[in-house]
Amino acid sequence: MNRWPRIGIGYDVHAFGPGEHVMLGGVRIAHTHGLVAHSDGDVALHALCDALLGALPLGDIGHHFPPSDERWRGADSRALLRHCGELLRTRGYVVGNCDLVIVCERPRLAPHIALMRACIADDLRCAMEDVSVKATTSERLGFTGREEGIAAQAVVMLHPNGDSP
Ligand code: MG
């Protein structure tokens, strides 16, 4: 039986390209650009998936959902997240809590944070109170500051499913 909590960290970046919306935290947000990606380009959920996979540890998102695999072309990243949730449950863990940071100048994310948290909690079968999503800018510095792309970081704590250690 698993006795100890486990932590994981994830990071992802996608470049802006043509488009009229971005997907972030499972939420469709109107924008002047889209994100270039094999999937729907949801950097926040990709960072979270990598954190979950890292905690188990089961490699990374590129291993589980390779760009060469046509099944994942244009994929809804929420399906990827639910798959990662299945992996952790089958290994005897539940999500204790997770914390995400999304870095971009635009679009403005504050109005969408609550829905992102609800989507993630739903996909990972945990409480919204266990999901934190934060947005920040990089003060116009670097690639995020120049609005060339969006970056996201995530950390997750997994708890053994069952009696506390
Ligand atoms: Mg990605």
Region 135-153: mean pLDDT is: 98
Residue 7, both tokens: 């932590």
**How far apart (Å, rounded) are the C-alpha atoms in residues 147 and 137?**
10
81 Cβ neighbours under 8 A, 6+ residues apart: 26, 45, 48, 49, 52, 120, 123, 124
- Among candidate residues 151, 127, 165, 160, the one with its CA nearest the CA of residue 55: 160
How would residue 74 be classed by pLDDT, with cut points 50, 70 and 90?
A: confident
Q: How far is the CA of 41 from the centre of ligand 1 (A)?
A: 6
Residue 44, both tokens: 């926040």
Region 73-97: mean pLDDT is: 94
Q: Is the pLDDT of residue 163 over 80?
A: no
Q: What is the pLDDT of residue 165?
A: 44
Q: How far is the CA of 94 from the centre of ligand 1 (A)?
A: 23
Q: How far is the CA of 46 from the centre of ligand 1 (A)?
A: 5
DSSP category for residue 71: G
In the beta sheet, which residues pair with residue 10?
Answer: 154
Q: How far is the CA of 118 from the centre of ligand 1 (A)?
A: 21
Q: What is the pLDDT of residue 29?
A: 98
**How far apart (Å, rounded) are the C-alpha atoms in residues 165 and 159?**
9
Q: What is the DSSP string of 102-149?
A: EE-SSS--GGGHHHHHHHHHHHHTS-GGGEEEEEE--TT-HHHHTTSE
What is the percent of the chain where pLDDT is above 70? 98
Q: How far from chain centre, in Å, is Cα 163?
A: 28
Q: How far is CA 86 from CA 19, 83, 89, in A?
A: 32, 5, 5
What pLDDT digit, counting tens, does each position of 18-62 carry?
999 999 999 999 999 999 998 899 999 999 999 999 999 999 999
| Cα dihedral 78, 84, 90, 91 sign | negative
Q: What is the pLDDT of residue 1?
A: 59
Q: Is the pLDDT of residue 136 over 80?
A: yes
Q: How far is the CA of 1 from the centre of ligand 1 (A)?
A: 33
How would residue 75 be classed by pLDDT, with cut points 50, 70 and 90?
A: confident
Which of the residue ranges 13-22, 62-71, 104-113, 150-159 would you say has the lowest mean pLDDT? 62-71
What pLDDT digit, counting tens, does each position of 104-127 carry?
999 999 999 999 999 999 999 999
pTM, rounded to two decimals: 0.95
